[in-house]
Amino acid sequence: MKKILQIISDAPLFNGLSEEQLNDVRQISVDKFCDKGKTIFLEGDDCNGFYIVADGKVKIYKVSFEGKEHILHIYGPGNPFGEVPVFAGRKFPANAQTLLKSHLLFFPRTAFVDLISKNPSLALNMLGVLSMRLRQFTVQIENLSLKEVPGRLASYLVYLSQEQGRTDVVALNISKGQLASLLGTIPETLSRILTKMNQHHLIDTSGRDIILKDLGGLKDLAEHGKLQ
Amino acid sequence: MKKILQIISDAPLFNGLSEEQLNDVRQISVDKFCDKGKTIFLEGDDCNGFYIVADGKVKIYKVSFEGKEHILHIYGPGNPFGEVPVFAGRKFPANAQTLLKSHLLFFPRTAFVDLISKNPSLALNMLGVLSMRLRQFTVQIENLSLKEVPGRLASYLVYLSQEQGRTDVVALNISKGQLASLLGTIPETLSRILTKMNQHHLIDTSGRDIILKDLGGLKDLAEHGKLQ
DNA sequence: CCAGTACCTTGACTTAAGTCAAAAAAGCGT
DNA sequence: ACGCTTTTTTGACTTAAGTCAAGGTACTGG
């Protein structure tokens, strides 16, 4: 399966590793094929390894006592997830579920730790990946505590625009309900804000595509946080 | 200065390192003595290394456009900070300022990266520390998005109770204004909620000490998130 | 001990965003 | 195209928490 080696070498975590090191990584990885909606792990489960998305999409989420779900992250091809408890402890701190039929690579804990302690460059890559995650979390906390929902949505749209390299239109790729959860709000509120942004000529919605009519205005809103 | 070696060997980051490795670490560290209220770095500053608190207290915070400040973390002796951009990029993602007269150890970026790539166990320690940080952030995001302020406060009190190993009373160590910022709210709201918790016989306040009258009730509130 | 400053509390008011309920629109398999 | 489910939107209402403003309390240094 040379496709898998390709996936591994494309993942940021394994960037710049030698052919031999990549082969070592391949050796310890286990393929998992999952249907849409499959639970990969639940909060509190023992962690005996972590995953990389080879294909498909996975959501990482928490559930409140009342059953309200908050999505922390949505990961696609090349992204690792569940790597935190590999180094921090034994339990997963959140739930993971596939959003699409997915192909995952599983890396058993002990084998990976062995590998990392023999490969300083792999260790440094891993440190880089974790640090990027921390930076993203910092942004997310900033958004949640400093900004109102319109500001958070604007931030997200600006982020998508950079991610997708387009200034005219972005694709959501997830349902608006899921987006609401990712932004720490509920579908009703998100829907109202999208309508308001429409009225303010900031965007135009067309299904899961959002036409950016005033990217400057959105950036402004993302920084200053007030709509209207 | 053998006191500094003591501080280094006590820091979780350097746990379990050999005498020789600790000496290497000491070699590259630079002492910085700061008065209370000294800014260590600002968001966007170039990162040429990270710090460990040897003595004193440091707050990591973000400032919104309107000047509202949100504290992300407060670190004391043994805690490292600013380590994220060492591996992720070049800029600090938040501001750092001393809350007390403090003694810091500075670790220059390149020297530390060299050191880490020669010490697999140091790399693993570092991975552990970053992973713990990520776990804390996950909790913080969960709190901010899933719970109302009373629930967040209850979470924090329960956390303090575990941290300080007491079930009867906890010490805040920071001002109530700073606590408000740490919880993502404002002093007025925090004050009102403390009063309400008093009326509900959950706590009793006495300056910066909080008497836990009903720890079970607080845990309940932290999980379920509703007061009254 | 007193003045001055920083911190904390209280009150009246406003507002963003959540809840509940129902209708409309979009997807999907047959 | 049809009926079914899921997603999205809209409306009326409630509420948590923010703003502004004014007192009160406590700690500091002279």
Q: What are the residue ranges of CATH 1.10.10.10 in chain B?
A: 144-224
Locus of tokens 């599983």: A106
Are A61 and A70 spatial neighbours (Cβ–Cβ below 8 Å)? yes
- Taking only the tens place, the pLDDT of each residue in A126-183 is 888 888 888 888 888 888 887 899 999 999 999 999 989 999 999 998 999 999 999 9
Q: What are the residue ranges of CATH 2.60.120.10 in chain A?
A: 2-125
Question: Rounded to whole angstroms, how far apart are CA atoms A123 and A83?
Answer: 13
Q: Quick one: fold of B2-130?
A: Jelly Rolls (2.60.120)
CATH hierarchy code of domain A2-125: 2.60.120.10
Strand C interface, B 79-138, C-beta < 7 A: none
**SS3 of residue B41 by DSSP:** strand
- Distance measured from the CA of protein residue B69 to the C1' of nucleotide C7, in angstroms: 17
B191 touches strand D (CB under 7 A): no
Closest A-chain CA to B92 = A135
Amino acid residing at B226: K
Mean pLDDT, chain A, whole residue set? 89
pLDDT at B106: 95
Report CA dihedral (A44, A50, A55, A59) to the nearest 10 degrees.
30
Helix (H) or strand (E) holding A212: strand A209-212
Checking if the pLDDT of A7 tops 90, the result is no
From A12, B37, B204, select the one nearest B217 (Cα to Cα): B204
Report CA dihedral (B71, B72, B76, B77) to the nearest 10 degrees.
-150
User: How would you class A217 by CB atoms within 10 Å of its CB: exposed for 0-12, middle for 13-18, buried for 19 or more?
Assistant: middle
Structure confidence at residue B225 as a pLDDT band (50, 70, 90): low
Mean pLDDT of A76-98: 89
User: How would you class B56 by CB atoms within 10 Å of its CB: exposed for 0-12, middle for 13-18, buried for 19 or more?
Assistant: buried
Q: What are the residue ranges of CATH 1.10.10.10 in chain A?
A: 144-222
How far does B22 lie from chain A, in Å, by closest CA?
18
- Taking only the tens place, the pLDDT of each residue in A98-139 is 988 889 999 999 999 999 888 888 888 888 888 888 888 888
Out of A72, A131, A145, closest to residue B138 by CB: A72
> Which chain A residues are Cβ-neighbours of B70 within 8 angstroms?
141-142, 145-146
Strand C interface, A 93-122, C-beta < 7 A: none
Bigger pLDDT: B118 vs B3: B118
Q: Does A116 contact B134 at a Cβ distance shorter than 8 Å?
A: no
B68 touches strand D (CB under 7 A): yes
Backbone angles phi, psi at A47, to 5 degrees: -100, 115
> Could you tell me if the ipTM is greater than 0.95?
no
- Distance measured from the CA of protein residue A199 to the C1' of nucleotide C26, in angstroms: 22
Question: Rounded to whole angstroms, how far apart are CA atoms A99 and B70?
Answer: 34
Tokens of B186: 């404002």
By C1' distance from the Cα of A186, the closest nucleotide is C18
By C1' distance from the Cα of A198, the closest nucleotide is D9
Q: What are the residue ranges of CATH 2.60.120.10 in chain B?
A: 2-130
Q: Quick one: fold of A144-222?
A: Arc Repressor Mutant, subunit A (1.10.10)
- Taking only the tens place, the pLDDT of each residue in A37-64 is 889 999 999 999 999 999 889 999 988 7
Locus of tokens 């693993």: B124
- Distance measured from the CA of protein residue A42 to the C1' of nucleotide D30, in angstroms: 62
For domain B144-224, is the CATH number 1.10.10.10?
A: yes
Interface mutation target, options B109, B137, B220, B224, chain A, most CBs of A under 10 Å = B137
Mean pLDDT of A203-226: 89
Q: Does B116 contact A120 at a Cβ distance shorter than 8 Å?
A: yes
Helix (H) or strand (E) holding A144: helix A120-146
- Taking only the tens place, the pLDDT of each residue in B108-128 is 999 988 988 888 888 888 888
Helix, strand, coil percent values for chain B (each to nearest 5): 50, 25, 30
Check residue B12 and report its DSSP letter.
Answer: G
- The DSSP bridge pattern shows strands A209-212 and A80-81 to be unpaired
Question: Rounded to whole angstroms, how far apart are CA atoms A170 and A160?
Answer: 7
By C1' distance from the Cα of A189, the closest nucleotide is C17
Q: Does B64 contact A225 at a Cβ distance shorter than 8 Å?
A: yes
> Which chain A residues are Cβ-neighbours of B141 within 8 angstroms?
70, 72, 137, 140-141, 144
D8 nearest neighbour residue (CA to C1') = A191
**SS3 of residue A19 by DSSP:** helix
How far does B193 lie from chain A, in Å, by closest CA?
18
